[in-house]
Amino acid sequence: MTITELQEKYKKTEPVTNLTDDQLKEEILRLKKEKNAVILAHYYQEWKIQEIADYVGDSLGLSQQAAKTEADVIVFAGVHFMAETAKILSPQKKVLLPDLDAGCSLADSCPADAFQKFKDAHPGHVVVSYVNCTAEIKALSDIICTSSNAKKIIDSIPQETPIIFAPDVNLGRYLKKVTGRDLVLWDGACIVHDSFSLDKIKSLQEQHPQAKILAHPECSHAILEIADYVDSTAKMLDYSQKDATSTYIVVTEEGILHQMRKASPEKLFLPAPLVTYTECACGECPYMRLNTLEKLYLCLLREEPAIDLDEDLRLKALAPIQRMLELS
Ligand code: SF4
């Protein structure tokens, strides 16, 4: 399925309550207090959800928050593998995901049975998996990483040890370049980051010659080659605040622009166009955008959908995540 077809399939659903956004916010805050809940939101969520969250961050920050929160309920405004990671880290807590269909094309690109065969074909390799994968893949891994700490994690592995990196091939190629290691790569990709258009980004830069290009390492090699700065969303946000440039072309999911504009209102942030660009850039992840303020309210009210995990699988998936958190 193309990104346009996915965006069409998952386009906003009709509201099922008569509540306005202000009423939804009021109810969410009331329920949150009543149930001792915390709302963790990814930078790729719509701005209304980011504004009501207790913590907004990237995968590393969200995992750290999930591991240390004292709340009884975690509402995870993100996609399934993120809520699953929170459940792996906090099994005693109820972890809610506003829409269970909020999956991830990257996680889907690495099925466990095929990955087991790939692993068997490369004996003696340490398996480093990007956090954007299922609990089954985590359980088959030695250590997990995020885009914030991937280089550090790979650098921590002895030089003579061969490494498999999964599931994102673009991030893997980028890591080969920055670590100088010969990684064996699984061929998976994110449909959003893989759909940004090199030509359209170049023509946008021609219209804004002073603009710097900030890109996420899940983007294709050709885009990373022309980027002025490549790193995780959290580090892109930090860079945009400290750097003296006034205009940026941001090559990642559009949700991060909300935090960038909030932190640096005097600067211009332009979303990078996708290959399917027509009237708007539309660099929105169709899965992330399944979550809405209304679904967040309903899941907190009903305490469902909740993430459930087999304990044996949870324990196997926990060990490589803990290794990452210790190194971070
Ligand atoms: S942006 Fe890509 S990697 Fe992130 S949740 Fe969406 S499909 Fe998955």
Instruction: State the CATH architecture for 198-271.
Output: 3-Layer(aba) Sandwich (3.40)
Tell me the pTM: 0.93
> pLDDT at position 281, please?
52
Which is the closest atom of ligand 1 to the Cα of 105?
A: 7
Q: Is the pLDDT of residue 6 over 80?
A: no
Q: Is the pLDDT of residue 10 over 80?
A: no
- Distant-in-sequence contacts of 66-71, Cβ < 8 A, 24+ apart: 66/40, 66/90, 66/95, 67/325, 69/38, 69/40, 69/93, 71/36, 71/37, 71/38
Q: Categorize the per-residue pLDDT at 59 as very low, low, confident or very high, splitting at 50, 70 and 90.
A: confident
What is the residue-averaged pLDDT of the chain?
94
Q: Categorize the per-residue pLDDT at 279 as very low, low, confident or very high, splitting at 50, 70 and 90.
A: low
pLDDT digits (tens, 9 = 90+) for 151-169: 999 999 999 999 999 999 9
Mean pLDDT of 206-235: 97
Q: Is the pLDDT of residue 7 over 80?
A: no
Lowest-confidence segment of 14-23, 25-34, 79-88, 102-111 by average pLDDT:
14-23
> pLDDT at position 94, please?
96
Sign of dihedral through CA atoms 185, 190, 193, 198?
A: positive
> pLDDT at position 4, please?
74
The first and second tokens of residue 127, run together, are 């398996």
| CA dist., res. 225 & res. 22, Å (int) | 44
Q: Which of 105, 110, 193 to mutate for ligand 1's pocket (most ligand atoms within 8 Å of CB)? A: 105
Q: Categorize the per-residue pLDDT at 248 as very low, low, confident or very high, splitting at 50, 70 and 90.
A: very high
DSSP string, 66-88: HHH---SEEEEES-HHHHHHHHH
> pLDDT at position 53, please?
97
Q: Which residue has the higher pLDDT, 257 or 280?
A: 257
Q: Is 190 annotated as a binding residue?
A: yes
Q: Which of 42, 110, 129, 132 to mutate for ligand 1's pocket (most ligand atoms within 8 Å of CB)? A: 132
* 3-103+288-308 matches 106-191 in fold: yes
> pLDDT at position 122, please?
98
- The rounded Å distance from CA 216 to ligand 1 centre is 12
Report whether 131 contacts 232 (CB < 8 A).
no
Q: Is the pLDDT of residue 277 over 70?
A: no
306, HSE (Cβ side, Cα atoms, 13 Å):
16
Which is the closest atom of ligand 1 to the Cα of 287?
A: 6
Reply yes or no on domain 3-103+288-308 having CATH 3.40.50.10800: yes
Which homologous superfamily does the CATH classification assign to the domain defined by 106-191?
NadA-like (3.40.50.10800)
Indicate the SS3 state at residue 117.
helix
pLDDT digits (tens, 9 = 90+) for 136-153: 999 999 999 999 999 999
Q: Which residues line ligand 1 (CB under 6 A)?
A: 44, 79, 104-106, 132, 190-193, 253, 285, 287-288
Q: Is the pLDDT of residue 172 over 80?
A: yes
Q: Categorize the per-residue pLDDT at 64 as very low, low, confident or very high, splitting at 50, 70 and 90.
A: confident
| CA dist., res. 9 & res. 264, Å (int) | 34
- The rounded Å distance from CA 159 to ligand 1 centre is 31
Domain boundary assignment for the chain: 3-103+288-308, 106-191, 198-271
